[in-house]
Structure 1
Amino acid sequence: MKTEVKALVIGGGAVGTSIAYHLARAGWDDVMLIERDELTSGSTWHAAGLLPLFNMSYASTWIHKYSVDFYKTLEAETGLDAGFFVVGNLRMAQSDTRMDEYMLYASTAETCGVPYEWLSPGDIKDRWPLVRTDDLKGAIFHPTDGYINPADVTMAMAKGARQRGVVIERKWQADALRWTGDAWEVTLTKMVEKGGNLVPSDEQVVITAEHVVTASGNHAQRTARMLGIKMPAIPVEHQYVVTEPDPALVEWRKDNPQHPVLRDPDAKWYVREERGGWILGPYERGAPARFEYDVPEGFRADLFPLDLERIEEEYMSMIHRIPSSEHVGLKDDFNGPICYTPDGNPLLGPAPGLRNMWLAEGFSFGITAAGGAGHYLAQMMVEGEAEIDMASVDPRRYGPWMTTEYAARKNEESYEHVYLPHFPDEERPACRPLRTSPAYDRQKARGAQFGQANGWERPNYYAPEGFSDFDSRSFRRGGWWQYAVDEARAIRDGVGLIDATAFAKHVVKGPGATQFLDWFTCNRLPKTGRITLTYALTSAGTVRTEYTMVRLAENEYYLISAGGWAEYDGDFLRKAAQDKAGEFGYIEVQDVTTQWGVFAIAGPKSRDLLRPLLRDADPDSALSNKRFPWLSARNIELGMCPVRAIRVAYTGELGWELHHPIEMQNHLWDRLMEAGEAPGLRLVGGRAQNWLRQEKSYRAFGTELARDVTPLEADLVRFVDQSKDFHGKAAMNETGIRMIAVSLLIDGPDDADPWGREVICAGDDRVGRLTSGGYSVAFGKSIGMGYVRPDLAAPGTRLQVKMLNRFWPAEVVAESPYDPGNERIRRDG
């Protein structure tokens, strides 16, 4: 066995073999894959092999699409039939709400070039008469979709990997991983058969690897312990049953090709043909998480006992949908572990806090994602960045606050939600509330309807007593919509308070801090007491993180970034500071997120709210432009609370962010509520804020700002200082302008607004996509932001946005359509 390699992949399922294959195809000629048992012996062997292109995530859609396209090429390359049956995928709808979901998905699919067809109940019955359609609204059909044999495709990828020089070693288990400073030392133990079990032998070997990838599937928690990290990849039971041959299907097949895969999400199941019978795979309520801490030593290619009572409802609904299946007996059954994560997306990318350690864990749709996961992870490892934004699958989207209990319960919820409607305004209830600011109970008492980001509870909007957020969810304007409209208008006309405590906050200080941040970010550094908006770039020159930077002292800075990405930002920041300490001097990075609460005050009456609370020798002038200019920061006192006040407003109105000691939050809240009675203070949630920032063309990280666009493509030239050297500068300039960010006003339907997932067209040409969407109270119509071809970015350009399966006229508008001169945000008083 080789003892030194460029990359070691741990895990021989579909995901691991794909990663090894793609690393070799990307040019790494010294790759090894180890598997503790046999290839495919984990969840791969009992997977149903479905390849659903349907996904509401832009990144996951690309990953799945790559897999489907890639698997079709394997036989020509390897000579092995990957077992891909391109039979199509029919996704049916029993309700108008479900059809709304499909229409939103279809617009997203168009941005990635995924083909689909619309079918009426009559169309379905004509083409597939075994399906009952009298209670259906319609369906969406993917003709390029189907199913694949998991073992065959894994073996084909393994052969392709071997042909490209990958060494694959079976019956070796990773038992220890140690970072030496420039490589990983991985202790492997030979596994041997003993009494039908697989047990460790006394034979060990140490492999030195520059890079390690863990694709350990059900063993993810064991892997996490060896690495000293947390990751929420925990399996959940998934059952499916195989029936005896259905005579009606056998007869139909005499004159027809294979039946397409059927999905009835409203009944929570998929069904596909299997040797003249059917495979039923339900996603029922009550499926338990397993292996929260470890996989039992004797568990190999094993299964759990079937629980037919748990899936009785789904089984009966299959009989309803395919009446010929009623008298067909059961032939086989499977109940095996499938790894999940709390949001259903895999953990694919760098491990938090570790160097050259890559995670590929938590794949609930592992066969579907394996090909694309290998392709895009190989791009990250070999080239430094993937061509698509991988933030939504980055392992660092979960912070160290995440526990085993949280992961297990959320993963059970994630499983149960596979076939529930994926509302864009959905907020799932499990494990909540967990991370709360001190004012949470006060906000709840005033009608706050909370969303969750990175575990934090944040008000989305405020509603009257008795209002149900659950019942208000919709793919159109939900019951919350009017409340958000009123909140947005309150900020435009009066004054509002937004709880922004969840912001990620880091202090960077030390002798090397200034030189480091000057290299780390692309904008000029602010002077002491001032702030700036700036960006940290990837090695590919794309946007890695957005920061509001406050300079507290000569070599001390306060960095504020998106609330959902504290660990994601912090890990990147800490590693970069460590890398540059030898060049710039000592740099200290502190995560102070939980030490500071934040209330954002915004609106033309902001001064009227704050003046009565201000403890200052001249409170009338303390908040004036002269003493407290726009884009500056000062330490002030409001009541008995010391506040780091920052004059900036994400809403585009006069306002301040009030950063305060978290333990004093309730005191500050109560004083603000008292002072707010006179100016008519309105409590405002994140949904209204999201609309308001679009009226100002303010980009948001995770939507307009991502690792697949440069700041120049985001049209942020004014925040890029080309006179200095900074990380990613050369790559940014070499990339050029492929697409460019624009703001659009949309003459859309009366009952719906865009969600930021829709395709943008010019005539019949697909020319871009929305990244944000909503309603503009200033213009009385829908608004959106997105990316289009540079030749279509001029204000006045007429385009179309596809919503609810129709094209709606849209016009590119000038930057910051609301108050383009920033007169309101700079107003004096």
Structure 2
Amino acid sequence: MPESALPSQARVVIIGGGIMGCGLAYHLAHEGWTDVVLLEKAELTSGSTWHAAGQITHSTSSFALGKCVGYNIDLYSKVLEAETGQSVTWHGCGSLRLAYTDDELDWLHQTVSVGKGLGFPMEIVGPERIRELHPFYNLDGVKAALHTPDDGHVDPAGAAFALAKGARQLGVKIVRRCRATNVIQQPNGEWLVETEQGPIACEHVVNAGGTYARQVALWSGYDLPATSMTHHYLITDTVPEFQTLDHELPVVRDDRLVSGYIRMEQKSGLIGIYEKANPNTVWENHCPWEAENELFEPNYDRIMPWLENAIGRMPILAELGIKREVHGAISHPPDGNPLIGPAPGLPNYWCCCGTQIGIGWGPGLTRELARWMVHGAAEINMREFDPRRLGPYADQNYQITKAKEDYLLRHEIPFPHFNRLAARPVKTSALYATLKARGAVHEEIYGWERPRWFAPQGTEPVDIYGFHRTGLHDIVAAECRAVRERAGITDISSFAKIEIAGKDAATFLDGMVANRLPTRDGRIILTHLLNDAGRVEAEVTIVRLAENWFYLTCAAFFEQRVMDWLARHIPDGAEVTLHNQSAEYGAVALQGPRARDILAACTEADLSNAAFPWLSSQDIAVAEQPVQAMRLSYAGELGWELHMPMAHLAPVYAELWAAGERHGLANTGSFAMNSMRMEKGFKGAGELTNEVTLPEAGVMRFVRMDKCFRGKTATETALAKPLRWVCAYLDVADDRKSDGNGGEAVLAGGQQIGTVSSIAFGHTVGKLLAFAYIKPDHATPGTTLDVMIMGQPRRARVLAKPAYDPENRLPSGEALEEVSV
């Protein structure tokens, strides 16, 4: 069969022949799937890939993206050309990221802390060394720079062609000049991709459509959240000063003044700008099918302030003309992170798009997507890339507004907990206005507004940013103290809330979770959903309401993921229904030593330990409203979660607040909750990821190996051999200045042996606490290690027990109370 002919059937059809589609084809083949067809409507790379600047840097604040970057640089510089014979034109010139302010310098120190955990060569250098590396840059006002010597840039088309050639060599079929025209799911679950050359049926379909990805997804009823933004880079005439250089100067990333980058392009200069005002969208509704190697007229008015700054920074470019202007479209999701993984509600429909830094991030991301498709789990944490992190609330207006916001933030400092405020609020609980009036500073989580902290009287309720401790430290400490000494109330309405019912519900659910389902009505378990690789899909809480009737809650960002996972595995013919109640129900957490006193003043229910034990649930009336009261506490205190129809939330809160005033009840947010869960040694989403098994996470106490459950075989295998890593609980030396942000390197004897997954100051115990995945031989309690924080090693010690209430006496209300489920 000629290479260009379209087969009628394939295991996988990839739509789109840019860096992402070619990268996925290459990596699927390397993972063993070669019955793959890639469709490209024009020529490979003719969308956004061909006009990319092609740069890649080790400088990233994201640990997961960092893993991709490290792989990509090795692939471009050492592997791809040798494997395929296709030139990729790797320029390993290194790069410099400049710091003009203390905050920017702190950012560089944080980047070093993460980079060390990834084994990246990098160092912070002063102006003298910067001038040695780049004698032509104006360093007025520059404090320092991050030097990443192994960075570089690559020919974008050459890289994509090499990936395509490598895929072809292993049996993948690439069909050019064949536009997909529709994607339809068949009754048997397969996908039918209609094309200009006829239909092709497949088990898996992949949307790697780049700027076309949204309109391709709409064929299948999915409003994929991505918007095309345009970006400029300019190439100058030949630079006389470059003519005699015998080496290539490092790329300079000047976030503050240029909002972009400056580098050599052969013997010319290249200036790339992400302007910080008036960002430009194109093709909001439809990218023309006839577009091919499309560029737009440059808009100098829009970029001029930053272009003038660039010339001021590189005076040797000032008298030169511009010989090439590149103004092309790039896809931006609402939060700037790529869309890599399953499309919501569409089994075996995969997204491989929304990648604004396709050359820099693409191959590593497509390797992980290939692993996910073939083996059921990626090797890195895919939470920040999973398309299901964005729900139906992300409509087109939201997409466009957030994409513009993301574009403007491309070269801003990525402060810890940076709060993106555009297009908000989207989803609010019935308490939103009340809590905002009481000083709540909200964050967005799966579209919901969730309080993160409350401004005391006299403090402006706006976020306070910094890599070191800010005024927030004492504010969060006061919220923690209120919960530990009196009581706190927290709006937790953002939790995903799913009802599971039907005559086969118990059998189905028991086979899906690693713990044993409660056998008595009103009992609660904490458990985990696993994939067939034994990796964690999600941590969930399950309440048995009655026989074959269950209520499941989990973190908000797992809502669609859990719904999809459960729906996908309901056996044919089974009587099981899933009802997503997340928007219908609101909830508050009331916890602290005075929680029982406050709740008792609002209900006639018996709240004693005997009548209402720990890990149990009852229907009670509060403020004359029906409420499902669940006795548990993520803060590790006496407490209840109160779930109810959203319409009941305001009166219930009002009565609890009135009853709590004499007990010192305080509003509390997610920052305080995170501090308190770290004190209790409760593992969260940062620890329980698709990277790890339950033995590695150290949560086998929630597993019953005497029952059957999805992922059991893989769990048995994990238990039978040495673990790759384990989750250790660390007490880190406190310098009273900075607390880290996650992703930091863990060292033993100066050698990297792990990485921090979560870190926060425990205000009650006065300790900086962390979870870290480390090599098992370093995880014995009492072992001394070092954690890199802000570029400096801090002494840490492995703990054997939670720092707060290690015997867990407080939540149960009775010493060492045993609760049977």
Aligned to 1:60: 65
Please give the alpha-carbon distance, in whole angstroms, between the structure 2 residues aligned to 1:298 and 1:539: 43
Task: Pick the aligned partner of 1:156 from 157, 162, 165.
Answer: 162
Alignment of 1:298-377 (within 5 A): 298-377=290-369
Aligned to 1:589: 578
Which aligned runs of 4 or more in structure 1 are off by greater than 3 angstroms?
Answer: 464-471
Structure 1 stretches lacking a partner, 5+ long? 190-203, 617-621
| Per-residue Cα deviation, 1:454-493 (whole angstroms, up to 9, x for no partner) | 1111111001366456562111112322110100111111
Structure 2 letter corresponding to 1:418: R
Please give the alpha-carbon distance, in whole angstroms, between the structure 2 residues aligned to 1:493 and 1:318: 56
Deviates more, 1:385-394 or 1:721-730: 385-394
Structure 1 letter corresponding to 2:626: P
Task: Pick the aligned partner of 1:735 from 703, 718, 736.
Answer: 718
Task: Pick the aligned partner of 1:31 from 7, 30, 36.
Answer: 36
Please give the alpha-carbon distance, in whole angstroms, between the structure 1 residues aligned to 2:671 and 2:82: 50
Task: Pick the aligned partner of 2:175 from 142, 147, 169.
Answer: 169
Aligned to 1:795: 781
1:243 aligns with 2:233: no
Aligned to 1:273: 264
Task: Pick the aligned partner of 1:433 from 419, 425, 438.
Answer: 425
Please give the alpha-carbon distance, in whole angstroms, between the structure 2 residues aligned to 1:722 and 1:409: 48
Please give the alpha-carbon distance, in whole angstroms, between the structure 2 residues aligned to 1:403 and 1:721: 42
| Per-residue Cα deviation, 1:116-170 (whole angstroms, up to 9, x for no partner) | 1221111111222111223111111111110011111111112222211222111
Deviation, 1:815, is 2.6
Deviation, 1:652, is 0.4
Aligned to 2:207: 214
Please give the alpha-carbon distance, in whole angstroms, between the structure 1 residues aligned to 2:651 and 2:281: 42
Alignment of 1:414-429 (within 5 A): 414-429=406-421
Structure 2 letter corresponding to 1:607: R
* Percent of paired sites with the same residue: 38
Task: Pick the aligned partner of 1:259 from 249, 252, 263.
Answer: 249
Deviation, 1:246, is 2.0
1:17 is paired with a residue whose SS is: helix
Aligned to 1:5: 10
Please give the alpha-carbon distance, in whole angstroms, between the structure 1 residues aligned to 2:533 and 2:59: 29
Aligned to 2:539: 546
Any conservation in 2 of the 1:71–1:371 contact (CA below 8 Å)?
no
Aligned to 2:194: 187
2:420 is paired with a residue whose SS is: coil
Structure 2 letter corresponding to 1:265: D
- Return closer, same or farther for 1:130/1:428 CA change in 2, 3 Å cut-off: same
Any conservation in 1 of the 2:740–2:790 contact (CA below 8 Å)?
no
Any conservation in 2 of the 1:290–1:337 contact (CA below 8 Å)?
yes
1:484 aligns with 2:489: no
1:694 aligns with 2:678: yes
Please give the alpha-carbon distance, in whole angstroms, between the structure 2 residues aligned to 1:71 and 1:212: 27
Task: Pick the aligned partner of 1:606 from 572, 595, 608.
Answer: 595
Aligned to 1:387: 379
Please give the alpha-carbon distance, in whole angstroms, between the structure 2 residues aligned to 1:548 and 1:376: 29
Aligned to 1:776: 762
Alignment of 1:698-713 (within 5 A): 698-701=682-685, 703-713=686-696
Any conservation in 1 of the 2:480–2:764 contact (CA below 8 Å)?
no
Please give the alpha-carbon distance, in whole angstroms, between the structure 2 residues aligned to 1:688 and 1:391: 23
Task: Pick the aligned partner of 2:709 from 721, 726, 747.
Answer: 726
Deviation, 1:673, is 1.6
Aligned to 1:83: 89
1:536 aligns with 2:529: yes
Please give the alpha-carbon distance, in whole angstroms, between the structure 1 residues aligned to 2:537 and 2:133: 48
Aligned to 2:699: 716
Any conservation in 1 of the 2:231–2:327 contact (CA below 8 Å)?
yes
Deviation, 1:296, is 2.6
Structure 2 letter corresponding to 1:499: D
Any conservation in 2 of the 1:121–1:134 contact (CA below 8 Å)?
no
Please give the alpha-carbon distance, in whole angstroms, between the structure 2 residues aligned to 1:331 and 1:468: 50
Any conservation in 2 of the 1:231–1:398 contact (CA below 8 Å)?
no
Please give the alpha-carbon distance, in whole angstroms, between the structure 1 residues aligned to 2:461 and 2:623: 35
Structure 1 letter corresponding to 2:727: A
Please give the alpha-carbon distance, in whole angstroms, between the structure 1 residues aligned to 2:176 and 2:419: 43
Please give the alpha-carbon distance, in whole angstroms, between the structure 2 residues aligned to 1:802 and 1:398: 32
- TM-score calculated relative to the size of structure 2: 0.96
Deviation, 1:591, is 0.6
Please give the alpha-carbon distance, in whole angstroms, between the structure 2 residues aligned to 1:552 and 1:710: 29
Please give the alpha-carbon distance, in whole angstroms, between the structure 2 residues aligned to 1:655 and 1:320: 60
- TM-score calculated relative to the size of structure 1: 0.95
Any conservation in 1 of the 2:29–2:170 contact (CA below 8 Å)?
yes
Any conservation in 2 of the 1:473–1:479 contact (CA below 8 Å)?
no
Task: Pick the aligned partner of 2:790 from 771, 796, 804.
Answer: 804
Any conservation in 1 of the 2:604–2:621 contact (CA below 8 Å)?
yes
Aligned to 2:819: none
Any conservation in 2 of the 1:347–1:360 contact (CA below 8 Å)?
yes
2:809 is paired with a residue whose SS is: coil
| Per-residue Cα deviation, 1:248-287 (whole angstroms, up to 9, x for no partner) | 2334x1xx31111110112211111113221111111221
Aligned to 1:200: none
1:819 aligns with 2:811: no
Aligned to 1:197: none
1:477 is paired with a residue whose SS is: coil
Any conservation in 1 of the 2:47–2:292 contact (CA below 8 Å)?
yes
Structure 2 letter corresponding to 1:173: R
Alignment of 1:633-712 (within 5 A): 633-701=617-685, 703-712=686-695
Aligned to 1:231: 224
Aligned to 1:117: 123
Please give the alpha-carbon distance, in whole angstroms, between the structure 1 residues aligned to 2:233 and 2:460: 35
1:451 is paired with a residue whose SS is: strand
1:474 aligns with 2:466: yes
- Return closer, same or farther for 1:581/1:511 CA change in 2, 3 Å cut-off: farther
| Per-residue Cα deviation, 1:694-740 (whole angstroms, up to 9, x for no partner) | 11110112x01101111111111110101111101111221342211
1:70 is paired with a residue whose SS is: helix
Deviation, 1:741, is 1.3
Task: Pick the aligned partner of 2:506 from 494, 504, 514.
Answer: 514
Aligned to 2:50: 45
Please give the alpha-carbon distance, in whole angstroms, between the structure 2 residues aligned to 1:660 and 1:161: 53
Please give the alpha-carbon distance, in whole angstroms, between the structure 1 residues aligned to 2:412 and 2:786: 30
Structure 2 letter corresponding to 1:658: L
Any conservation in 2 of the 1:221–1:292 contact (CA below 8 Å)?
no
Any conservation in 2 of the 1:289–1:409 contact (CA below 8 Å)?
no
Any conservation in 1 of the 2:419–2:463 contact (CA below 8 Å)?
no
2:514 is paired with a residue whose SS is: coil
| Per-residue Cα deviation, 1:376-434 (whole angstroms, up to 9, x for no partner) | 11111111211222122111111122101101110111111111011112101111111
Deviation, 1:237, is 1.0
- Return closer, same or farther for 1:395/1:484 CA change in 2, 3 Å cut-off: same
